[in-house]
Amino acid sequence: MAGSPALKFTVRRQPVVLVAPAGPTPRELTRLSDIDDQDALRFQLPIIHFFRQHDGRNDDPAPVLRDAIAAALVHYYPLAGRLRQLEGRKLAVDCTSEGVLFVEADADIRLDQFGAALQPPFACLDELLFDVPGSSGLLDTPIIHFQVPVYERISGENKLR
């Protein structure tokens, strides 16, 4: 079963929440540079990372990650805003402090069962990454989406929870 592109598993997602900055941030409209504002760069890029817990602890990393994201957004506050289109199709970040999307996910498969399937091209990407309804556009939606698969220790093995 390891490395098989035909892995069968179920992913269950918790309700989507917005994670806002942990403290006050400036409210401003920041225009993107001409380099950052190119039509060819107007897309979302899915990225997936896998991490194993090596310390033997069975802590739920989701609250830690949620708090760390909120703390980081105080300093990187434009990421908690929304892209807006101005005159002449110019883009700007409206620093609203609305927050980023955060989804916890549970899967009925151990991380080691993916085997070589964890290497690009990742055959199970669509099953693991969630497209939050209404968030696939670039304008007026959260700039960053986080989905956190939580790892459990079961019989000494990591399991995607």
CATH at 137:
3.30.559.10
Assigned domain for 5 exists: no
pLDDT of residue 48: 77
Assigned domain for 83 exists: yes
16 vs 113: which has the higher pLDDT: 16
Assigned domain for 67 exists: yes
- Whether the pLDDT of residue 157 is over 90: the answer is no
Assigned domain for 3 exists: no
Q: Supply the pTM of this predicted model.
A: 0.80
**What separation in angstroms does the CA of 107 have from each of 37, 62, 123, 152?**
38, 14, 16, 11
Assigned domain for 119 exists: yes
> How many structural domains comprise the chain?
1
Assigned domain for 75 exists: yes
Model pLDDT for residues 23-79, shown as the tens digit of each residue = 999 999 999 999 988 989 888 888 877 777 666 666 677 888 999 999 999 999 999
Assigned domain for 147 exists: yes
Q: What is the DSSP string of 125-140?
A: HHHHS---TT-SSSBT
C-alpha closest to that of 157 among 114, 94, 101, 120: 114
Spell out the alpha helix ranges (H) of 17-112. Answer: 61-75
Assigned domain for 1 exists: no
Model pLDDT for residues 7-35, shown as the tens digit of each residue = 788 888 889 999 999 999 999 999 999 99
Strands laid side by side in the 157-160 sheet: 109-110, 157-160, 151-154
Domain that holds residue 39: 11-160
